[in-house]
Structure 1
């Protein structure tokens, strides 16, 4: 009888140790989109932040400009199509009339973001700029700076740049030829 009780206790202990303890659980969601294009945008390149730093308001007075900060859009698995050009359009609110600069929001005023290609030529907001691409992986290179707007009041007096925090957001689109 003692052997039966002992055997029952041992088997009971062994069966409870075989049960797994739930120490946590979760969900993994995979998302993305399938696009009709000869290239894929590399993961992580869709949403970026480009720090323009702390720029002196004196630097921006009279249309002055900060140093340009580089940024890029990486393309993967490109297949040659047409004339192998991609038009990149940076969409957003234009700062002022016909400046082509991207408007800033926040506490700072009197300045805007200037977007350029890798050689420093301005790419106007809401206008496409073409770049060539090759078979395989590509890196589209750009730069951005902060520029003073040279605003004037009703008495034609220059309005100085107001210091403060700012942000500017643009959405980019790619169109292949």
Structure 2
């Protein structure tokens, strides 16, 4: 599973046309260009190596899912540096992506996956669910560096477990995440 920080911005494009008559041809035309943007300060910096996080589940045995319905959580973390508590004291994380229809709140597999009947869940280090497309609870920021420890797991869909129809093969899923400071 890959995750990356998303940033929202606005790009404004202007179409400029100008006409030159014979009298103006002797002097070069003057064109005005308007640039705009929004410079902001974020309380922390996300390390570049955390902008694309890969969680490798290795080999997941279908018999294990039939018996236990889900795997143990595989840990991953987001490392934030240069945290300035004057700009924010807490952080919420929102994972966004296509939601499993059989397991609401969990991430659906990408279309190119060969495996089927499973979805990817995310949770806190303590095992509290982090539903997809919903903001997490607040994580306190530390002055300087802050580490957000999370886990991901594979869960079998109820019908696939009951009917023993989990499809084997490689799988992947992609979620993006937003960091919201308060």
State yes or no: 1:124 paired with 2:141: no
CA distance in 1 between counterparts of 2:103 and 2:154 reads 17
- Secondary structure class of the residue paired with 2:66: helix
Q: 1:149 to 1:36 in 2, by over 3 A?
A: farther
Gaps of 5+ in 1: 1-33
Q: Return the structure number with greater helix share.
A: 1
Which of structures 1 and 2 has the larger relative contact order (alpha carbons within 8 angstroms, sep 6+)? 2
Runs of 4+ in 1 over 3 A off after TM superposition: none
State yes or no: 1:99 paired with 2:93: no
TM-score by length of 2: 0.71
CA distance in 2 between counterparts of 1:45 and 1:149 reads 30
CA distance in 2 between counterparts of 1:127 and 1:163 reads 30
How many pairs does the alignment contain? 140
Q: CA deviation at 1:42?
A: 1.2
Partner residue of 1:37 out of 25, 37, 42 = 42
Match for residue 171 of structure 1? 176
Match for residue 21 of structure 2? none
Superposed, which structure 2 residues align to 1:3-82 within 5 Å? 36-61=41-66, 64-81=69-86
String of CA shifts for 1:48-92, please: whole Å, max 9, x gaps: 111011111122227711121100000011111476110100110
Structure whose alpha-carbon radius of gyration is higher: 1
TM-score by length of 1: 0.72
Superposed, which structure 2 residues align to 1:146-161 within 5 Å? 146-151=154-159, 158=163, 160-161=165-166
String of CA shifts for 1:150-172, please: whole Å, max 9, x gaps: 126xxxx7362111110011101
